[in-house]
Amino acid sequence: MNWHRYASPANFKRLSDRLMPWTAGGAAVFLAIGVWTGLFASPADYQQGETVRIMYVHVPAAWMSMFVYANLAVAGAAALVWRHPLAEVAGRAIAPVGAAFTFLCLVTGSLWGKPMWGTWWVWDARLTSVLILFFVYLAYMALNSAFDEPERGARASAVLALVGAINLPIIKFSVDWWNTLHQPASITRLDAPAVDPSMLVPLFAMAVGFTFFFLAVALVRIRAELLERRLEALRHARVAGSTIVERA
């Protein structure tokens, strides 16, 4: 597929017009399924009790924080290597969404950790690496807007996105490399998930719903960013035209 064709705002708008109903509809359907099954259809855990229901938000939010950042790194690579203009716009648009998912992961993790561990926060490898991910998101957004020339900010933040991607495998394998309070992988195990199927249904429904939600919000934010750039270009053209007329 020739992705450069979608650098045109008109082409991207046509694509997003086709995708928006599906992404928004998918988010609404799967989030509704996840909330219903997570709150009412799934059982309480024999050890954690009703507190386990925080898992249905915390775990998908953790997945999405890494998934969005992986997309951010890909957008950074596309912007640096292929100079794709839409990649710069996409990175700027999805970074706040990824930061929001990471913040949600940290907050729900603290709410879950208090009754389970007896504390809101511990400096173990998983928690610390996710906190670093949140700070990298914030640094990306700050760096992207730190220059008077948008192109310099886009390049600098793209480099940061690629460097920050080193943190993703650290987050993933931190429970295997170091002793942490987090349990090892219980869903992505090769033999069989260590989670009851009645809990897997709302967990995956929320994960799919979050994914559709991210796609819908990303499309809206990219369209808004393209429109803002178009308006900015028209303002500059109008100012330049007025200057020429005055000089004439």
In tens digits, the chain (248 residues) has pLDDT values of 455 555 566 788 888 999 999 999 999 999 999 999 999 988 888 778 888 899 999 999 999 999 999 999 999 999 998 888 789 899 999 999 999 999 999 999 999 888 888 888 888 889 999 999 999 999 999 999 888 787 888 899 999 999 999 999 999 988 777 767 666 665 554 455 556 788 899 999 999 999 999 999 999 999 998 888 777 767 767 776 666 555 55
In contact, 106 and 61? CB cutoff 8 Å: no
Q: What pTM value is reported for the model?
A: 0.88
For the chain, what are the domain ranges?
22-182+195-247
Q: Where are the alpha helices (DSSP H) in the chain?
A: 9-36, 55-81, 85-117, 125-144, 150-164, 167-177, 197-247
Length of the chain: 248
What tokens were used for 208? 């799919």
